[in-house]
């Protein structure tokens, strides 16, 4: 298989809260990343989603040193590939970085 990626991917395990955009009543799932880059991520298997599904995602950044605050990167995107090992999501161009304190339900 030829490598088509043009951006460097980083192997990272980050918790990510995922919900389908088209249905506000969709239960929220918590998954994790296998790898991530500035244009997308590969997430653990989520067989409930198909290629073309639009998602809202909150990626939780957790820092190990005590002075840092944990943050959330909120973005949207679309599933562009699925297989037995996970789903590939391409991010939209917009995102927000928010302090975790805005999410009292954590």
Residue 40 has pLDDT above 90, yes or no: yes
pTM: 0.78
Cα–Cα dist 70/51, whole Å? 31
**What's the count of helices (H) and strands (E) in the chain, helices before strands?**
0, 7
Q: Is residue 7 part of a domain?
A: no
What digits encode the pLDDT tens for the residues 50-75? Answer: 999 999 999 988 766 555 567 889 99
In angstroms, the Cα distances linking 96 to 28, 85, 92 are 19, 28, 11
- Report, as an integer, the average pLDDT of 17-38: 84
Residue ranges making up the domain that contains 85: 12-101
Q: Is residue 30 part of a domain?
A: yes
Number of domains in the chain: 1
Q: Is residue 55 part of a domain?
A: yes
CATH for 88: 2.30.110.10
């Amino acid at each position: 298989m030829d490598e088509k990626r043009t951006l460097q991917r980083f192997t990272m395990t980050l918790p990510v809260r995922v919900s389908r955009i088209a249905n506000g009543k969709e239960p929220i799932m918590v998954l994790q990343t296998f790898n991530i880059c500035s244009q997308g991520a590969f997430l653990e298997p989520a067989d409930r989603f198909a290629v073309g599904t639009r998602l809202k995602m909150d990626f939780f950044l957790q820092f190990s040193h005590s002075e840092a605050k944990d943050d959330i990167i909120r973005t949207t995107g679309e599933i562009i590939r699925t297989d037995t090992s996970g789903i590939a999501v391409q991010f939209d161009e917009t995102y927000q970085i928010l302090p975790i304190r805005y999410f009292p339900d954590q």
